[in-house]
Amino acid sequence: MTRYKQPVSVLVVIHTVDLEVLLLERADHPGYWQSVTGSCEAGETLIETVLREVREETGLDVRQYALTDWQAQNVYEIYPQWRHRYAPDILYNTEHVFGLQLPYPVAVQLAPREHLNFQWLAWQDAAEKVFSPSNRAAILELPKRAIRKMP
């Protein structure tokens, strides 16, 4: 039996107090840069998805930093190259946006099957580099959303 992804996901903009943004380069599409993203698994809450995806993709423990639910959702058409991961009648995904604030840039441990590289960029440069319009829009919101000091 084929297990399809659920059309509900999280986008986690990992950033520093100084608004540097962590970007990851996709292994399946070199040159495509993004924030941490991932689909919810069956029975998983959005926060559980954030905890799991951030740990899997970066090795970071979300609980050590300041996580903010931006209470923002994006509904978008799933890119054709990734539609096979979803049930045949699923064309749209609902993405929930979160911010994760760190005190400063840190080295992360990538999942080699998912990402080739990482970099920390100023938020303006990160917004220009990501391939996803919803990721770009979230990064452009960062100056209004960041806590600006660590709790």
Give start and end residues of each alpha helix (H) in 12-132.
46-58, 123-129
> Does pLDDT of 13 surpass 80?
yes
Write out pLDDT tens, residues 85-120.
999 999 999 999 999 999 999 999 999 899 999 999
* Nearest partner of 97 among 151, 41, 53, judged by Cα: 53
DSSP designation for 131: S
Q: What's the mean pLDDT when you consider all of the chain? A: 94
> Does pLDDT of 150 surpass 70?
no
Write out pLDDT tens, residues 35-71.
999 999 999 999 999 999 999 999 999 999 999 999 9
- Residue extents of the structural domains in the chain: 8-145
From 3.30.365.10, 3.90.79.10, 3.40.640.10, 3.40.50.2300, which CATH number describes the 8-145 domain? 3.90.79.10
The residues facing 39 across adjacent strands are 9
